[in-house]
A and B are shown apart, each in its own frame.
Chain A
């Protein structure tokens, strides 16, 4: 498959374990944050988002935590499965602003061992 990034930080977890992927965002004025998943040979896929008026948001097997004090975002994946293997990107922007103002992080590669 196509390589999204050759020098990405990598997180390796055992199938069934929980995964935590971290992201530090850059702009204290950002108030909307999104996590994307990119599998080999595919484009990024929306996972979950959160606005700055929340600290936590849960989806199906995923939870996003936001710490505005230290400008930190994390994505927790419960009971990680082989299909979760991918590169995960966080993105920040202003809610209601142009999609073009989305700033993507460099990404973290998640590798799930069966």
Chain B
């Protein structure tokens, strides 16, 4: 069974630009979560979607947004990019949103570099 697929794997942007990252969850998984991973801050939660609705949001500015489609695929967008947005963006899917009963399966991530 295919895992979580994230595209693009690598991208380079300049300050002020925007970026859209895509995530295809495991077939049948309806919950998608996004995380930002940096050497300094580690893994930080961005947001979580279930059935096309944002269920939870981390402590990130409004420049970070996301959405989920009816087929459970998700996108996240970062507008007005800053140097500090350079990071590995990880998507994870699970059957449902509750921790414990549903293990998170992560994709390989999208590596964003902002110049």
**What's the least CB distance linking A91 to chain B, in Å?**
8
Please classify how large the interface on chain A is, using the bins under 10, 10 to 19, 20 to 34, 35 or more: 20 to 34
Using a CB–CB distance below 8 Å, which chain B residues touch chain A?
4, 31, 33, 37, 39-40, 42-45, 47-48, 55-58, 88, 90, 92, 94, 97-109, 111
Identity of the chain B residue whose Cβ is nearest the Cβ of A100 in the assembled complex: B56
**CA A51 to CA B100, docked complex, whole Å:** 9
Residues on B with C-beta less than 8 A from A2 are 88, 111
Residues on A with C-beta less than 8 A from B109 are 43
Known: A5-B39, A46-B104, A99-B33. 12 other contacts (CB 8 A): A4-B88, A43-B92, A44-B43, A89-B43, A93-B99, A95-B99, A95-B100, A97-B99, A101-B45, A104-B42, A106-B42, A107-B42
**CA A44 to CA B55, docked complex, whole Å:** 22
Using a CB–CB distance below 8 Å, which chain A residues touch chain B?
2-7, 32, 41-46, 49, 51, 89, 93-102, 104-107
